Structure 1
Amino acid sequence: MEKMKKIAVVLAGNGVYDGAEIHEATLTLLAIARNGATYQCFAPDVEQAHVVNHLTGEEMAETRNVLVEAARIARGNIKPLSDYDAKNFDAIMFPGGFGAAKNLCTFAFDGVDCTVNPDVEQAVRSTVAEGKPVGALCISPVLIAKILGDVKVTIGQDEATIQAIENLGGTHQKTTHGQVVTDDKYKVVTTPCYMLDATIDQIADGADNVVKKILEIM
């Protein structure tokens, strides 16, 4: 019997405004399970850029840890991203949410001059070096473009973000709900999710289509 494929999922905290987008994260996990693979969640063990009150959108005067917060989504079954070894996984995926652009890198604050968390960069580079696929949803493709440069991705249709991706050396393809763009050279698979004005079922479609494509190109 063929061994089940194992996909690493990198979470950026818990909640759209300062962490991982919870619908995108959960539906990614569901898509992996429904397509006959298994997952392991990871997150960098670092302090969040800031904490946002999700009811008011206001910043809160407290600090939180990305790994501790992401553990909420993973039901406690999560590892520090520094433990990730590309040899032990068949692919890696990055759900979106502002945390991807605030905690995994600093794109939300610094644009194209952003820095990337070293564990995140190492995870992406080592996965690509192994010839294994990378999936990225929503704003996460920006992070991949920052690391890899000349990569083809989609974030949907947002002109400012498209310009940033192109300034980073990437190629952007405009898409709508559930559509997937694949970079054949790097095996990077992306979809826009909540970068578009989307509903939760459209997010499910996007996550499912990325997982299906990743399993197809393994």
Structure 2
Amino acid sequence: MNKKVAVILSGCGVYDGAEIHESVITLLRLDQRGAQVQCFAPNVTQHHVIDHLTGAEMPESRNVLTESARIARGQAKDARELRAEDFDALIVPGGFGAAKNLSDFAGKGADCSVQPDVLQAARSFAQAGKPIGLICIAPTLATQIFGEGVSCTIGNDAETAGALEKMGARHVECAVEDIVEDEQHKLVSTPAYMLAGSISEAASGINKLVDRILEMTVQEA
């Protein structure tokens, strides 16, 4: 029986939403491995809109769920509908949207909070003992999902790693092509574009993360 995996997106675009390469690599690898996938996103106004050509903030408003549906080819659901009992695992790609729309880490650092619908959904997977994959900057959500003592990686960026540890996480330095697994919490993380200089480098770690998440679902079966 094919495994069912939920993917939480945070918009569309590295500077104000989900990192598109990371999201597509995740979805592609899941499909290659025969998993059934459903994308979700919070139905909220995104933090702000960035012109990805110039880097300037734009005077407009966009919805995180609507933008996420661009990546999901229209097949995105409200995070409020996400239930752990319907899936075998959860994966969250990175991009600044994870730190701006799924949480306010980009503005508040270690004092951040996670968007309530996303937090409730992610915690339901943790409480059910189902594996979770966090990619790129998304591990900044880890302590609020699992509590203090969780192990994860964002690569080797000292400032972000310091904020993670201030929140109570144990940061583990990791090369772009590798993953960090917290066996106790069933959490897998990888740096992706926190370190990657190319799409193939990002894919090297993401593919390992997806493969490991799916292996963990088999072990739990």
- TM-score if structure 2 supplies the norm length? 0.96
What residue number does 1:14 align with? Answer: 12
Deviation string 1:88-108 (CA, Å, 9 cap, x unpaired) is 000000000000000000000
- 54, 57, 68: which one pairs with 1:56? 54
Q: C-alpha displacement at 1:217, in angstroms?
A: 1.5
Provide the rounded CA distance (Å) in 2 between the counterparts of 1:217 and 1:144. 18
Deviation string 1:39-60 (CA, Å, 9 cap, x unpaired) is 1000000000000000000000
Whether the 8 Å CA contact 1:177–1:198 is kept in 2: the answer is no
Whether the 8 Å CA contact 1:93–1:134 is kept in 2: the answer is yes
What residue number does 1:25 align with? Answer: 23
Deviation string 1:168-210 (CA, Å, 9 cap, x unpaired) is 1111110111200011111000000000142101111111100
Which 10-residue stretch deviates more, 206-215 or 13-22?
206-215
What residue number does 1:97 align with? Answer: 95
Whether the 8 Å CA contact 1:155–1:162 is kept in 2: the answer is yes
5 Å-filtered alignment, 1:101-140, equals 101-140=99-138
Q: C-alpha displacement at 1:146, in angstroms?
A: 3.4
Q: C-alpha displacement at 1:145, in angstroms?
A: 2.6
Identity %: 51
- Unaligned 5+ segments in structure 1 are none
Which 10-residue stretch deviates more, 146-155 or 204-213?
146-155
What one-letter code is carried by the residue in structure 1 that aligns with 2:23? A
What residue number does 1:174 align with? Answer: 173
What residue number does 1:216 align with? Answer: 215
Provide the rounded CA distance (Å) in 1 between the counterparts of 2:52 and 2:177. 26
How many pairs does the alignment contain? 216
CA RMSD of aligned residues (A): 0.8
What one-letter code is carried by the residue in structure 1 that aligns with 2:66? V
